[in-house]
C-alpha cells in the first residue's frame, strides 16, 4: 500500500474542517496546506454520495497541485427527514453557509412532524475520506457516528451542525466538547467523531 509523507494538499476551503484535518495529520509529521491557501478552485460536487464527492475534490486538488491531496466530504443525515440534508448539508446553510440558519431549518421541519421525543430525532454524521495522488491512485474510507438532535443547540465548539448533535453514549453535544474529545485519537481522545473514525481507518492504510 502506498504511504503518505511530506507535504499534502487538504482539499477544502472550510476553515473548521481544515483545522480538524491538520490536527489529525500532525502526529504523523505530514505538512498540510489547504486548497484555499494555494488558490485552487473548488470543483463542482456532482456526486450522489459522500464518497463520490470526496473523490472529486481529492482528484481535482491532486491534479491541480501536483501533490497528494486529502479530501473529506461529510454531513449530517436525519432519520425523520429521510436522510436529509445528507450530501447537501453545507448547502442547507445557504450561500453564506450559515449553519445557525441550517439548524433552525432542521428544527422547524422536525417540529412540523411533531418530532420532539429523542427516539424521533435520530441522526448520524458521515465522513468519507479520499487520498488521491497526481497519477490517479486513490484510497477511500468512510466513518459514521450516530446520535440524537437536541434543541436548542448547545456549545460554542466545533462547526457546522455540532451544537445540535449529541452522540450516543454522551450527555454533551459535539459543540460542548473540546477538539480532543471530539476528534482526538487514542490515547489523547476517544476517536469519537465521524471524521476521527474515518481517519483512523485511513491512517492504517496510508500513514505511519
**Catalytically annotated residues:** 73
Angle of the 194-206 helix axis to the 15-25 helix axis, nearest 10:
40
How crowded is residue 189: how many other Cβ atoms within 10 Å of its Cβ?
18
Residue 162 to residues 45, 73, 136, 149, 182, Cα–Cα distance (Å): 23, 16, 33, 10, 10
Report helix, strand or coil for 198.
Answer: helix
Q: How far is CA 200 from CA 85, 90, 105, 146, 187, in A?
A: 25, 24, 32, 17, 13
Residues 6+ apart with CB under 8 A from 208: 3, 28
**Per the structure block, which three cell numbers stand in for 161?**
451542525
d(CA 122, CA 69): 33
CB 91 within 8 A of CB 168: no
Amino acid at each position: 500500500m502506498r504511504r503518505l509523507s511530506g507535504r499534502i494538499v487538504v482539499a477544502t476551503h472550510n476553515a473548521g474542517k481544515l483545522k480538524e484535518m491538520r490536527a489529525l495529520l500532525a502526529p504523523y509529521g505530514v505538512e498540510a496546506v489547504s486548497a484555499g491557501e494555494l488558490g485552487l478552485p473548488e470543483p463542482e460536487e456532482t456526486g450522489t454520495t459522500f464518497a463520490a464527492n470526496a473523490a472529486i475534490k481529492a482528484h481535482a486538488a491532486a491534479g491541480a497541485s501536483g501533490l497528494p491531496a486529502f479530501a473529506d466530504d461529510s454531513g449530517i443525515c436525519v432519520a425523520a427527514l429521510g436522510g436529509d440534508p445528507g450530501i447537501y448539508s453545507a448547502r442547507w446553510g445557504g450561500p453564506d453557509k450559515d449553519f445557525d440558519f441550517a439548524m433552525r431549518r432542521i428544527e422547524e421541519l422536525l417540529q412540523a412532524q411533531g418530532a420532539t421525543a429523542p427516539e424521533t430525532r435520530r441522526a448520524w454524521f458521515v465522513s468519507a475520506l479520499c487520498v488521491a495522488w497526481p497519477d490517479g491512485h486513490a484510497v477511500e474510507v468512510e466513518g459514521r457516528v450516530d446520535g440524537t438532535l437536541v434543541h436548542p443547540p448547545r456549545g460554542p465548539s466545533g462547526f457546522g451542525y455540532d451544537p445540535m448533535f449529541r452522540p450516543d453514549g454522551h450527555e454533551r453535544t459535539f459543540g460542548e466538547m473540546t477538539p480532543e474529545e471530539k476528534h482526538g485519537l487514542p490515547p489523547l481522545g476517544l476517536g469519537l467523531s465521524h471524521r476521527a473514525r474515518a481517519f483512523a481507518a485511513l491512517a492504517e492504510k496510508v500513514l505511519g
